[in-house]
Chains A and B, each alone.
Chain A
Amino acid sequence: MDWISPRALNRLGMLNMNRRNVDYIARYNERSSYPLVDNKLKTKLAVAEYGVKTPKLLQVVKHQHEISRFREMAEGLAGFAIKPAKGSGGKGITVITGRDGDGYVKASGARVGASVLERHLTNILAGLYSLAGTPDVAIVEDLVESDQSLARYSHQGVPDIRIVVFQGYPVMAMLRLATTASDGKANLHQGAVGVGLDLGTGKSLNAVQFNRPITLHPDTGLPLENINIDAWDEMLEMASRCYEATGLGYMGVDLVVDAHDGPLLLELNARPGLAIQMANGRGLLPRLRAVESLKRPHFTPRERANYAMETFASL
């Protein structure tokens, strides 16, 4: 067994689960703001007012009888994504990338019939994927077509960028690439690859899969060291804006880069995971403390993003 000493973790400034919960989430996140991020539909509406773009909403399925209308609507579409509004951790998200006669082609390449999708919608409505098992609504969104420069790194699935935003300041970022192991999902604990990103430039730092450092993508075999995210400052500003939209002091912002529409907000997370630190090879605590000790916080998202790019590039 291989262990790291708590003292070494302290030196690295690694944020741990208990401290995140007590000192950051409990202290900076208002309970009343949670529904805003736990419900993707509400998130969409809230951030729209602050000029943050999200994938186009195609349909909202609220009741069982509305499922029949889904079939009519989906007839004319090539690709779309079905998501439970209150789902967490990517659970219950089905991505359809194309058609095959009457059937639909999932992102994994599997073909499913319309009845499977309808059953999936039923499950979502019954609350199978929602946080507390409460009844839910399903939303159908336009399929995000990932920008080619990034999409080639990912096995199936759309690569997304997770940015941790603390009191409106982006403090750490990583690129998440789906793998076969993660079944096309961008969840690190399911086996997706996390690539740490330099906040100053949007260039990749190092990468991990299953908490172990790697240099090549396990499926595509592409080197992960020279990835560069375009329009990086724009993305940081967008993430920063979500703070005004939700009021959450400590959150994870998940962005994708669409080939046509540019950066889009996928979802917000009030309890962002800790694996981002492993992908960056750096601890969050020094950056969080730097923001906490700011005497005069910056007021605009632009200023905050600039501050983060200057200050945290080196930390």
Chain B
Amino acid sequence: MSSPSRLPFYIAVFLLITAGISLAVWRHVELGIPWLTGEQHPVWMVEARVDFNGSNQPVVASLNVPEQPPGFRILTEQAASPGYGFSIIDKSGSRRAEWTKREVAGPQTLYFKAQFIPDPGAEPIPPAQPPKTRRLFWEEPQATAVREILAQAEARSSTPESMTRELIRLMQPDTRVQNTTLLVSEDNYLQLLVNMLNHSGIPARTADGLKLEDARRRQQLTPFLQIYNGERWLTLNPKTAAQGVPDDLLLWRQGSESLLDVVGGDNSEISFSILRQTIPALQLAAMQSDGNGLGFLSFYELPIEEQSMFRMLLLLPLGALVVAFMRIVIGIRTSGTFMPVLIAVAFVQTTLVPGLVAFLSVVSIGLAMRGYLSSLNLLLVSRISALIILVIFITAGLSIFGYQMGFNTGMTVTFFPMVIIAWTIERMSILWEEEGGQEVLVQGSGSLFVAICAYLLMSAPLAGHLTFNFPELHLTILGLILLMGQYTGYKLSELKRFTAMKVYD
């Protein structure tokens, strides 16, 4: 039966549907646009608090702030410190927040807040040039001790990583030999490690990490060791030699020498408070879409007014889908092909019950008036024109009447498309004269039924969310509608209509 020319059609439909779905999935993965409306994402709010005492001098307080911490992305940053000049300065691989003030006396408190989103894929950009090692001059007898320990570690290792691990193991209290005891004291352990690694030709530095736990105050940073393995910086725990950054660890400082410098103040200290927050996933996606190449596919960058217009427009395909389904597969008769969609759009603005009441009253008053018009023997065009004006009178009347009676819902009639209502009345009226009231009832309730179905679908929060945030899903809707255009099976209503054929079966 089916001619060969239909194959390309089905391929095209298949492509449309898969393109719509895969684009949506891609954007969901890349931009993190959520499938559901209420989806929330955890965000860590970290507040750094700097305290110091002013001593009547100009003050520069400079705090290292995170830049590309592994495993996190920075969502927002802000500083709170009344009376201070503030700026964030990027220089030579370190970002610093700088507060400045001319006259400072007494205890001072500065705040820096930042929100971090966990993102397992976030990695710092590797340095363009390999970092250099700093050679240190060791005095005897330390020089000999260092040489021997390094030789020992080197003998048991093959790579910078294993070398570092061996070195850390050798420096632990339980494995300490005479040489190490000579070198290690309680407070120079990490710096010693860094110096020794540098001495052996492995670039090494310290970093500070913050353990993220909900609702913690007055937290301090824990030191970490970082070495450069020829490709990128690796983070190691200086005590256990465990490599990598745990999921709940935020590296606040890496690559910069000092965490906090205060010039013109004394007794400076820093502490951190941590709070776990959730923000709507959608808001998150919208905030991040600017910088992403995929952002151009979305409506987030349009002005708000246009956005809300598109919100409405993008619902229309859903209505069209409902109408196509109801007419082709179910077989419900409606008056006017897409009149139900337009009514449904009006319902979305008026909400269902007030909309239904308004619509039914306008149409029934209009039908009564049309009865008089039909006896006037007018030409079609002027009859419709007169009807449009009458419909406007009716709407205005209902609005004013409703308002005076104290129902604000009376105003909602104005959302209905006047011309469509006028045509609906005209068609219904002719139908009434020609086919009788029953057909008017059948088609009228059919139209209303389809309109209500379309309304229920279009007003579902999920539908609005998906159509607006994944506009590419409309390709899928288009594919489905095209597919329905090829449906040659029985309509549901035909199973009823052809019932009498049972006797011949």
B380 touches A (CB below 8 Å): yes
Once the chains bind, are B491 and A128 in contact (CB under 8 Å)?
no
Contact among B377, B379, B381, B488 for A19, CB-based, below 8 A: B488
Known: A11-B505, A22-B486, A119-B377. A211 touches B491 (CB 8 A): no
- CB closest residue in chain A, given B384: A133
Give the number of A-B contacts (CB < 8 Å): 85
B372 touches A (CB below 8 Å): no
A123 touches B (CB below 8 Å): yes
* Chain A nearest CB, measured from B4 CB (Å): 13
Once the chains bind, are B500 and A9 in contact (CB under 8 Å)?
no
A17 touches B (CB below 8 Å): yes
Contact among B1, B328, B497 for A18, CB-based, below 8 A: B328
Interface bits A36-59 vs B (CB < 8 Å: 1, else 0):
000000000000000000000000
**Which range holds the interface residue count of chain B?**
20 to 34
**Which range holds the interface residue count of chain A?**
35 or more
* Chain B nearest CB, measured from A122 CB (Å): 7
A277 to B505, CA, bound (A): 13
B214 touches A (CB below 8 Å): no
Once the chains bind, are B381 and A278 in contact (CB under 8 Å)?
no
A127 to B490, CA, bound (A): 34
A123 to B494, CA, bound (A): 34
Known: A91-B434, A126-B379. A208 touches B500 (CB 8 A): yes
A16 to B329, CA, bound (A): 11
The 8 lowest CB-CB distance pairs between A and B, nearest first, are A126-B380, A19-B488, A281-B504, A119-B377, A16-B490, A8-B505, A126-B379, A18-B488
B137 touches A (CB below 8 Å): no
A190 touches B (CB below 8 Å): yes
A86 to B194, CA, bound (A): 95
A213 to B498, CA, bound (A): 11
B489 touches A (CB below 8 Å): yes
Q: Which of B455-505 contact A (CB under 8 A)?
A: 485-491, 494-505
* Chain B nearest CB, measured from A259 CB (Å): 29
Chain B residues with CB under 8 A of A277 = 498, 501
- CB closest residue in chain B, given A130: B380
Once the chains bind, are B430 and A128 in contact (CB under 8 Å)?
yes
Once the chains bind, are B501 and A8 in contact (CB under 8 Å)?
yes
Chain A residues with CB under 8 A of B119 = none
B435 touches A (CB below 8 Å): yes
Once the chains bind, are B488 and A23 in contact (CB under 8 Å)?
yes
Contact among B380, B486, B495 for A3, CB-based, below 8 A: B495
Chain A residues with CB under 8 A of B430 = 128
Chain A residues with CB under 8 A of B485 = 22
B444 touches A (CB below 8 Å): no
A302 touches B (CB below 8 Å): no
B interface SS class: helix
Known: A16-B489, A16-B490, A19-B488. A281 touches B503 (CB 8 A): yes
B223 touches A (CB below 8 Å): no
Once the chains bind, are A4 and B502 in contact (CB under 8 Å)?
yes
15 extra interface residue pairs, beta carbon distance < 8 Å, beyond A4-B498, A211-B498: A3-B496, A4-B501, A6-B489, A8-B502, A12-B501, A17-B494, A18-B488, A22-B486, A23-B1, A23-B488, A133-B380, A208-B500, A211-B499, A211-B500, A278-B498
Known: A18-B489, A22-B488. A9 touches B501 (CB 8 A): yes
Chain B residues with CB under 8 A of A5 = 495
Contact among A190, A211, A282 for B504, CB-based, below 8 A: A282
Once the chains bind, are A213 and B495 in contact (CB under 8 Å)?
no
11 contacts between A and B (CB under 8 A): A4-B499, A8-B501, A9-B494, A9-B495, A9-B501, A16-B489, A16-B494, A18-B487, A18-B489, A22-B487, A211-B499
Interface bits A253-282 vs B (CB < 8 Å: 1, else 0):
000000000000000000000000110011
Known: A126-B379, A127-B380. A190 touches B503 (CB 8 A): no
A65 touches B (CB below 8 Å): no
A5 to B328, CA, bound (A): 18
The interface of chain B, by Cβ under 8 A from chain A, is 1, 3, 328, 331, 377, 379-381, 430, 434-435, 485-491, 494-505
Chain A residues with CB under 8 A of B435 = 190
Chain B residues with CB under 8 A of A23 = 1, 488
Once the chains bind, are A3 and B499 in contact (CB under 8 Å)?
yes
- CB closest residue in chain B, given A282: B504
Known: A3-B495, A9-B495, A126-B379. A17 touches B331 (CB 8 A): yes
A2 touches B (CB below 8 Å): yes
A12 to B503, CA, bound (A): 11
A213 to B503, CA, bound (A): 10
Chain B residues with CB under 8 A of A123 = 380
A122 to B376, CA, bound (A): 12
A3 to B496, CA, bound (A): 5
A294 touches B (CB below 8 Å): no
A110 touches B (CB below 8 Å): no
Once the chains bind, are A2 and B499 in contact (CB under 8 Å)?
yes
Chain A residues with CB under 8 A of B381 = 126
* Chain B nearest CB, measured from A195 CB (Å): 14
Known: A11-B505, A281-B504. A128 touches B380 (CB 8 A): yes
* Chain B nearest CB, measured from A275 CB (Å): 9
Interface bits A110-129 vs B (CB < 8 Å: 1, else 0):
00000000010011001110
- CB closest residue in chain A, given B427: A133
A98 to B380, CA, bound (A): 29
* Chain B nearest CB, measured from A81 CB (Å): 17
- CB closest residue in chain A, given B328: A18
A132 touches B (CB below 8 Å): no
Once the chains bind, are B500 and A12 in contact (CB under 8 Å)?
no
A283 to B1, CA, bound (A): 17
A212 touches B (CB below 8 Å): yes
* Chain A nearest CB, measured from B424 CB (Å): 14
Chain B residues with CB under 8 A of A1 = 496
Chain A residues with CB under 8 A of B380 = 123, 126-128, 133
A278 to B379, CA, bound (A): 40
Interface bits A189-231 vs B (CB < 8 Å: 1, else 0):
0100000000000000000100111000000000000000000
- CB closest residue in chain A, given B380: A126
A116 to B412, CA, bound (A): 41
A174 to B101, CA, bound (A): 101
Once the chains bind, are A122 and B377 in contact (CB under 8 Å)?
yes
A56 to B434, CA, bound (A): 27
A23 to B3, CA, bound (A): 10
Chain A residues with CB under 8 A of B331 = 17
A119 to B504, CA, bound (A): 47
A14 touches B (CB below 8 Å): yes
* Chain A nearest CB, measured from B297 CB (Å): 35
* Chain B nearest CB, measured from A31 CB (Å): 16
Chain B residues with CB under 8 A of A12 = 501, 504-505
